[in-house]
Amino acid sequence: MNYSYFTVKEVTDYGPYITKIIFPLPKFVKSEVLSEDTYSVYVERRSKKNGEVLQLKKDWNSNETRPSKGYCHITKAYTSDGEGNKIEIGSHATLELECEAIYRLNSEIAFLEEQGHNVYVFCDFRITQVKEIQTDSDSITGLVYDHFSGGCMEQVKGWVNSQSSYAEMPLRFGYYSPKLSSGKRPLIIWLHGAGEGGYETDIAYTGNNVVNLSSDKVQSIFSGAYVLAPQVPTMWMDGGDGLYTKSGQSKYVNGLKALIDEFVECHSDIDTNRIYIGGCSNGGFMTMRMIIDYPGFFAAAFPVCEALYDNLITNQNIEDIKNTPIWFTHAKNDEIVKPEITVIPTYERLLKAGAPNVHFSYFDKVVDTSGIFKDIKGNPFEFFGHGTWIYMLKDECVLDYDGSPVTVNGKDITLLQWLALQEKQNTVLLSSS
């Protein structure tokens, strides 16, 4: 007889992973008798459409594909209650799984080449007891758990999915409403990368660690903030033909502005002097597009690895946005969006034009700082250079382009702390020293 298991999912810097598996035991067991080698955990990542095992690229830079299946590494095993809370004598077992960065066997999303973006997948686990468990009266042997009974993801609580009513181009979006609801609240808009487009709205805020913007820590910086994550079916850089734009234009500009206006109208406690916009890659491109097309509307912008070629930005565009507070983020080894033809010349032109409040965190590379992802030697994993949204969403951008800390009134400040200070009527006074 086979049994059921329950999963706990966590949105990491590298998207959503199943980090715990919980399953019932036939009798109460002491935690000390369980160990990491009591069970084996085999998984096959399957398409939610047809149930087939996915054939995926080894990594971003590889053309090699392989079936997405194998054994997960168990890092901890202990007795627990039904929710996975560790107890000394329990009726359930909880296994904690390593979040592996290459094959990503317990990741809940996968990038499908034929669709051009990430989709949610089904992680089909089989947990097999491979070591005898001793109890006070007898032993437990040979149990197998292979029926999925449900899962939870704590970080998405409070998020709601909806769609704009703009008839010409209704867009889906996810949003978070602040718990602290008295008074006016700022609005943080996050624009996803190309990989998070499509038709699963949750991907727009879980494909990367966007939900960190709704965490208690970040919310406290803003004393409560709305977070809005729109999603497009293709990519923000779609110029109208379904291909990446060569003109620097996007067919989604009007639809996105209509969505933002409608969202603000529906939430009367949004402070229209504190509307912030940012996003990564394609979303960084669209961030630049929106502040150029609607100068003065946004209180500040935070483009990450932005993909608007500098040669498509006119001198008049620079004049129009130079008084908008902007904090850029990019990495030197980004091979997907090269900073030499995007952010660097744009940043330098803004400074030359006299922009009073523009910053640029420029990283050498992107390395895990969470302690979750490691390489085969156990060192912090190095992500591909395009992934600077990892630093930004964790609020680890603190240095300016020259390597000095960004300061306000003589105090070192992070990107999100800086963002929370920006108001349309007071942007110059809040420039850094």
Q: Where are the domains of the chain?
A: 3-152, 156-421
User: Count of CB atoms within 10 A of residue 177's CB?
Assistant: 16
Does 53 score more than 80 pLDDT? Answer: yes
Rounded Cα–Cα distance for residues 228 and 296 (Å) = 19
Please name the helix (run of DSSP H) or strand (run of DSSP E) that holds residue 407, with its range, or none: strand 407-408
Quote the pLDDT of residue 429.
39
Q: pLDDT-derived band of residue 428, with 50, 70 and 90 as boundaries?
A: very low
Rounded Cα–Cα distance for residues 254 and 268 (Å) = 22
Q: pLDDT-derived band of residue 90, with 50, 70 and 90 as boundaries?
A: very high
Q: Is 315 helix (H, G, I), strand (E, B) or coil?
A: helix
Q: What is the mean pLDDT of residues 79-87?
A: 96
pLDDT tens readout for residues 264-318: 999 999 999 999 999 999 999 999 999 999 999 999 999 999 999 999 999 999 9
Does 114 score more than 90 pLDDT? Answer: no
Q: In this structure, what DSSP letter does residue 213 have?
A: G
User: Count of CB atoms within 10 A of residue 369's CB?
Assistant: 13
Quote the pLDDT of residue 322.
98
Q: pLDDT-derived band of residue 101, with 50, 70 and 90 as boundaries?
A: very high
Q: How far is CA 211 from CA 249, 282, 393, in A?
A: 28, 19, 9
Quote the pLDDT of residue 182.
78
Q: pLDDT-derived band of residue 426, with 50, 70 and 90 as boundaries?
A: low
pLDDT tens readout for residues 315-372: 999 999 999 999 999 999 999 999 999 999 999 999 999 999 999 999 999 999 999 9
User: Count of CB atoms within 10 A of residue 15's CB?
Assistant: 22
Q: pLDDT-derived band of residue 427, with 50, 70 and 90 as boundaries?
A: very low
Q: Nearest Cα to 17, choosing from 7, 27, 26? A: 7
Q: What is the mean pLDDT of residues 116-142?
A: 94
Does 432 score more than 60 pLDDT? Answer: no
Quote the pLDDT of residue 135.
87
Where residue 399 falls (left for φ over 0; alpha for ψ -120 to 50; beta otherwise) is beta
Q: How far is CA 130 from CA 20, 94, 135, 140, in A?
A: 18, 15, 16, 11
Quote the pLDDT of residue 165.
97
CATH number for the domain whose boundaries are 3-152: 2.60.40.2180
Rounded Cα–Cα distance for residues 323 and 204 (Å) = 29
Rounded Cα–Cα distance for residues 183 and 267 (Å) = 12
Where residue 70 falls (left for φ over 0; alpha for ψ -120 to 50; beta otherwise) is left
Does 58 score more than 90 pLDDT? Answer: no
The burial class, CB within 10 Å (0-12 / 13-18 / 19+), for 94 is buried
Residue corresponding to tokens 């399953």: 23
Quote the pLDDT of residue 180.
66
Rounded Cα–Cα distance for residues 133 and 302 (Å) = 53
Which position has the higher pLDDT, 181 or 255? 255
Rounded Cα–Cα distance for residues 329 and 280 (Å) = 9
Q: pLDDT-derived band of residue 181, with 50, 70 and 90 as boundaries?
A: low
Q: Do domains 3-152 and 156-421 have the same CATH topology?
A: no
CATH architecture of the domain covering 156-421: 3-Layer(aba) Sandwich (3.40)
Q: pLDDT-derived band of residue 64, with 50, 70 and 90 as boundaries?
A: confident
Q: How many Å from the N-terminal Cα to the C-terminal Cα in the chain?
A: 68
Is the model's pTM score more than 0.85? yes
The burial class, CB within 10 Å (0-12 / 13-18 / 19+), for 57 is middle
Residues of the chain above pLDDT 90, percent: 91
Poorest-pLDDT segment among 8-17, 136-145, 213-222, 359-368: 136-145
* Sequence-ordered strand ranges (E) for 69-213: 69-72, 74-80, 89-97, 109-112, 117-120, 122-129, 133-134, 139-140, 144-152, 159-163, 172-176, 185-191
The burial class, CB within 10 Å (0-12 / 13-18 / 19+), for 257 is middle
pLDDT, mean over the chain: 95
Backbone angles phi, psi at 51, to 5 degrees: 80, 0
Rounded Cα–Cα distance for residues 190 and 314 (Å) = 25
- DSSP states along 246-276: SSS--TTHHHHHHHHHHHHHH-TTEEEEEEE
Taking a C-beta distance cutoff of 8 angstroms, is the pair 131, 33 a contact?
A: no
Q: pLDDT-derived band of residue 61, with 50, 70 and 90 as boundaries?
A: low
Q: Which residue type is seen at 6?
A: F
Q: Is 241 helix (H, G, I), strand (E, B) or coil?
A: coil
Non-local (6+) Cβ contacts of 284 within 8 A are 191, 278, 303, 304, 305, 306, 307, 308, 337
Rounded Cα–Cα distance for residues 188 and 221 (Å) = 12
